[in-house]
Amino acid sequence: MQTNNLLKSLRRKTAIVGCLTALSVAGCDQFLEPKPTDVLAPENFYRSAADAVSAVNAVYSQAVWVHFWIWYESDVATDDMFATANYGPDGHQLASYTFDPTLWSIDDLWTNAYITINKANIVLDRVPPIVMDVTERNRVLGEAHYLRALTYFELVRMFGDVPLMEQEATTVADAQIPRTPAAQVYALIVSDLQTAMNDLPASYTGADLGRATSGAATSLLAKVYLNQKDYNNAAKYAGQVMTSGRYSLNARWLDNFKISDEFVSPESIFEINYGAPEQTPGVVGSVQTLFSLPSGFPGGDAYGLMQVNPDLIAVYSANDQRGNGATYMTSPYVTALGDTATWGVPNGAAFHKWLDETDSKDMTARSWQQMPNNWIIQRYADVLLIYAEAVNAGGTSTSGSAEAALNQVRTRAGIPTVSGLGSAALTDSIRVERRREFAFEGQRWFDLSRWSLLDATFKAKTTLMQSLQPGETPVHGVPSNLFPIPVGQINSNAKLTQNPGW
């Protein structure tokens, strides 16, 4: 009864308690709706030409991370180098092939590759409806096609079958898919590169210099076909690049690694651009230079993590301009600045390749993630050797003989040309040329894999390593020429299967 009275009185006093009831649930929902004012949401982006360009820029800046550590797999895990005592366990495990599917660098590459692919997919999904200049839109889409193809190419070469994502992912369920057969992945890569080849300009000027070109797409297409052992197409597209007249070899081999010549050297086809954040805030610098320089090398950080395999040194003749002082150096070494560098780590030859002795940052202020040294995806010498390899393997020649292409590379390096070699001998010659030309440029592992020589090469390295560095015991070879699928990825997607042997 008391309660009834109370309620009656309450009704009369609604003026006082009005502010309690005024807040309806609907009003509160509005109050709770998050309306970010300082971050963008996808719904209010992708509307203008500037948005489209910005979207594809984001793909490039993600590709930076795909190639930031790729030398862990493409070079440390090969017969070109050993890990020194300074190297962490990860380097040792790769160099001695004792790693397992938990290795972070494999997961890192996988993850960054798919982030790149998703960002490219976003461009391909969201840019077409944007009202903008058609040529510019085609260029943006072409760039996304090229970067997606490049990224899938890295993935399919490392892991074989990989899940194929062709559209932007928006929910976790989108990624719960099994591995797609490599052939299908290659089909997408080829179609992407065909599109890119047609839609991209042959060159850029000014502030666009460094974007993907049709030449980059064509060169990569040649390489993709070579990897698929489609020698006619490999020779065809490599020949197309050769006859385009757009590219030629640098007279001086070392100029390929000159920071001031990045993108403008006639040999450059496509590079991942790293910058010095101290000079251009916000950009990412690379680290391969200071990882590979010997411990205590003057001019800043030098980690001394890699030792050049004597077996690699042996492939250079004395007058090869890519040998001592170029690809590698031995202690003591006198720098362009006149300093004499001596080192105990590595206990032998160290890499020199990524040191640009004409660059003051490289020579006087090296530090972590501050290095402007680019990572080269393809340069013209690669196209010549692809052509040589394809033609020698039976591809129809479209731009001269295999030997002629090989000899261009040899001549520039200052070593004698070859002639009249049989197919098998020419094969060997091309293979060793690739090793001499591209050591520590992200090619070796994939070359050995393509030639099915990984396992044999690694067994040989094991023998050598056991004599040079007792205690490093390789426990497995290179099963199926492939890296393991990262264990974390299998854990988060039950449909992923592991590669055989891991």
Partner 1 sequence: MQSASRKTLEESLPDNRASLAAAAIRLVLGALTAIMLLAVPSVAASQQSFVTRQTTYVVRFASAIDESDAPVLLRQPITLRLRNVTLERALQAIAARAGAPLSYSRAVVPLDRVVSIDVRQVSVLRAFYEVLNSVNVELWVSIDGHMALVPATAPPSEEATGTVAGRVTMAGSNEPLNDATVSVSGTRLRTATDNDGRYSIAGVPEGTRTIFVQRLGFGRDSATVVVRPNETVTADFALRPVAVSLSEVVTIGYGTQRRRDLTGAIASVTSDDIQRTPVVSVEQALQGRVAGVQVTGGSGQPGSSAAVRIRGGNSIAAGNDPLYVIDGVPVSASANNTNTYTLETVGVSGLNPLAALNPSDIESVEILKDASATAIYGARASNGVILITTKRGRSGANTVTVNAYHGTQAVRHRLSLLNAQQFAAYANAARVNGGQPALYTPAEIAALPNTNWQDEIFRSAPVTNVEASFSGGDNDTHYYVSGNLLRQDGIVLNTNMNRGSVRLNLDQDISSRFRVGNRFTLSRSQSQLMPNGGGGQEVSSVLLNALTAPPTLSVLGSGNEYFIGVNPATGRIFSNPVGAATLITNKEQQNRFVGNVFGEYDLFPKLTFRSSFGADYLSSMQDFYSPSTTYPGVTTGGSGSRGSLAVTTWLSENTLHYTPGQFGFLRAVDLLGGITLQRTNAANVSGTGQNFVTDALGQNGLNSAGTFIGVWTGAPHSSLASYFARANWNLLDRFLFTVTERVDGSSKFGTGNQYGFFPSAAIAWRMSDESFVRGLGLFDDLKLRASIGKTGNQDIGDYRALATLGSSTYLFNGVKVVGYSPNTLANPNLKWESTSQGNIGLDAALLRSRLLLTADVYNKTTRDLLLEVAVPATLGYSTQLQNIGSVRNRGVELSLNTVNTTGALGWTSGFNIAWNRNKVLSIGADSQIVGPVGVGAGAVQNPTILKVGQPINSFYGYVYSGMSNGQTTYADLNGDGVISTADQQIIGNAEPTYTGGFTNDLTFRNFDLSLFIQFSQGNKIYNITRALLTNDAGNNNQLTDVLPAQSAGANGIPVPKIGNTYDARPSTLFVEDGSYIRGKSLRLGYRLPASLLSSSRPGHLQNAEIYINATNFFTKTKYTGYDPEVSEYATSVLAQGIDFGTYPQTRQFIFGFTTAF
Taking the CA atoms of residue 300, residue 304, residue 309 and residue 315 in that order, the dihedral angle to the nearest 10 degrees is: 0
Q: Does 49 bind partner 1 (CB under 8 A)?
A: no
Pick 13 or 229: Cβ nearer partner 1: 13
In the bound state with partner 1, the residue whose beta carbon lies nearer, of 376 and 406, is 376
The CB-of-284 to partner 1 minimum distance in angstroms stands at 8
- Nearer to partner 1 by Cβ, of 2 and 467: the residue is 2
Q: What is the closest distance, in whole angstroms, from the C-beta atom of residue 127 to partner 1 in the complex? A: 12
Q: Which of 78, 121, 219, 378 binds partner 1 (CB under 8 A)?
A: 121
DSSP string, 198-219: HHS-S---GGGTTS--HHHHHH
Stretch 180-199 residues interacting with partner 1 (CB under 8 A):
none
The residue (of 101 and 400) whose beta carbon lies closer to partner 1 is: 101
CA dist., res. 82 & res. 91, Å (int): 9
What span, in angstroms and rounded, lies between the C-alpha atoms of 442 and 447? 10
> Which of residues 417 and 497 has its CB atom nearest to partner 1 in the complex?
497
C-alpha closest to that of 436 among 268, 321, 322, 328: 322
Residue 341: strand pairing partners = 333
Site for partner 1 in 345-384 (CB under 8 A): 345, 347, 365, 367
CA distances from 447 to 20, 209, 219 (A): 74, 29, 16
Looking only at residues 207 through 226 of this chain, which bind partner 1 when binding is defined by CB under 8 A? 207-211
Handedness of CA 94, 96, 97, 102 (dihedral sign): negative
Q: Provide, rounded to whole angstroms, the least separation between the CB of residue 274 and partner 1.
A: 8
In 214-357, at which residue ranges do the beta strands (DSSP E only) sit?
268-272, 306-308, 328-329, 333-334, 340-341, 350-351
Residue 63 and residue 151 in contact, taking contact as beta carbons nearer than 8 Å = yes
State which of positions 239-278 bind partner 1 (CB under 8 A).
Answer: 263, 273-275, 278
The binder of partner 1 chosen from 344, 394, 416, 501 (CB under 8 A): 344
**Token duo for residue 495:** 């449909």
Instruction: Yes or no: say if 336 and 267 are a contact pair by the CB < 8 Å rule.
Output: no
For partner 1, the binding residue among 243, 279, 411, 419 (CB under 8 A) is 279
φ, ψ for residue 334 (rounded to 5)?
A: -100, 120
The answer to whether 318 contacts partner 1 (rule: CB under 8 A) is no
Place of tokens 């009005």: 18
Angle at 206 between CA 202 and CA 212, to 5 degrees: 35
Residue 15 near partner 1 by CB under 8 A: no
- Our finding on whether 169 is near partner 1 (CB under 8 A) is yes
Select from 36, 338, 422, 470 the one that contacts partner 1 (CB under 8 A). 36
Tokens 């070699």 locate to 421
Closest separation between CB of residue 138 and partner 1, Å? 18
How many angstroms separate the first and last alpha carbons of the chain? 78
Map the footprint of partner 1 across residues 378-437, applying CB under 8 A. none
Q: Do 156 and 182 meet the contact criterion of CB atoms below 8 Å apart?
A: yes
315 binds partner 1 (CB under 8 A): no
Query: 158 vs 426, which CB is nearer to partner 1?
Result: 158
Q: Which residues pair with 371 in a beta bridge?
A: 286
# chain residues binding partner 1, by CB under 8 A: 100
Indicate which single residue of 7, 26, 40, 318 sits in contact with partner 1 (rule: CB under 8 A).
40
- According to CB under 8 A, which residues from 447 to 486 bind partner 1? 473, 475
Binding flag, residue 59, partner 1 (CB under 8 A): yes
Segment lying near partner 1 (by CB under 8 A), choices 338-346, 381-389, 397-405, 420-428 = 338-346
